[in-house]
Amino acid sequence: MPRMATVARTAASRIGFWLWYVVPVGAILLARPGAGAALYGVYGAARGLAAWGVLLGLGRLLGPEWARWLLAHKPTARRVAAGQLVLLGVATAVAVGW
């Protein structure tokens, strides 16, 4: 049982974790579908654009070879890149009507 307490404490202490509750409750309390959709849109855009900001910042900080280094040394980066290429290939095949 102590292990579950540790997991719960770790999950609750993550930056942004409380937004998992605030955003849906806020959307419901607004009581307007358009306002709720706008709230979720702003939340999603902030999270999505933050990732690009971090990646672009890393590129400036570490130089142009950081992506090659990442792919060469981190298996997770290779899996993500391979998955992205597969999804792009499938989307292209669907788009052209294969």
pLDDT tens column, 80-97: 889 988 998 998 998 887
Give the whole-angstrom CA distance, residue 6 versus residue 11. Answer: 9
Give the whole-angstrom CA distance, residue 39 versus residue 82. Answer: 33
Q: What is the pLDDT of residue 14?
A: 58
Residue extents of the structural domains in the chain: 1-62, 64-98
Give the whole-angstrom CA distance, residue 78 versus residue 91. Answer: 20
Q: What is the pLDDT of residue 13?
A: 56
pLDDT digits (tens, 9 = 90+) for 31-64: 888 888 888 888 888 877 777 777 777 777 777 7
Q: Span 73-85, mean pLDDT?
A: 89
Q: Is the pLDDT of residue 27 over 50?
A: yes
**pTM (2 decimals)?**
0.42
Q: How confident is the model at residue 1 (pLDDT cuts 50, 70, 90)?
A: very low
Compute, in degrees rounded to 10, the torsion defined by CA atoms 41, 47, 11, 26: -20
Q: What is the pLDDT of residue 86?
A: 92
Q: Is the pLDDT of residue 3 over 70?
A: no
- Residue 24 amino acid letter: P
Query: The dihedral of CA 29, 35, 36, 42: what is its sign?
Result: negative
